[in-house]
Amino acid sequence: MKVTLISIPVQDQQKALQFYTEKLGFIIKKDAPLDGGNRWITLVSPEWQDGPELLLEPAPLHFEPSKIYQEALMKAGIPYTQFDVDNVEAEYERLIKLNVDFSVKPTEMGTLKFAVFNDTCGNNIQIVENL
């Protein structure tokens, strides 16, 4: 058994697509129309194109429990998910230059360094570097 798809709820698929590709650097793997004006959009890391796909899921628009959960995580400052990076400081500096809003600046905790940013689509995302 292996993980092939990770879903992240987004409030606006097009806005999320722009953020995740233009600012975070993911690349589009699949983009297919679905009923109701939604799309099946999956992204992959350019460094691991055969790795797990990130689905930009429009669930908060159509499923109230998803919206409530997403809003509760955001209000509590809890990241929805995490992305590993080689260097948190360098990624933080790169994203700051692209006007990405961080709620937690690079912070060391034990054997890792992390930072948390707002993906503009309803989620806090954590980046992590293993030290």
> In terms of residue numbers, what domain contains 121?
5-130
Rounded to whole angstroms, how far apart are CA atoms 20 and 43?
Answer: 8
- Let me know if 83 is exposed, middle or buried by CB neighbors in 10 A (0-12, 13-18, 19+): middle
Say what the pLDDT of residue 61 is: 87
- We report the CATH number of the domain holding residue 33 as 3.10.180.10
pLDDT at 22 over 90: yes
Give the model's pLDDT for residue 77.
96
Write down the pTM of the prediction: 0.94
pLDDT at 36: 87
State the total domains in the chain. 1
Question: Is the confidence at residue 62, as pLDDT, over 90?
Answer: no
Inform me whether the pLDDT recorded for 126 exceeds 90: yes
Q: In what order do the strands lie in the sheet with 53-57?
A: 5-9, 53-57, 39-44, 27-33
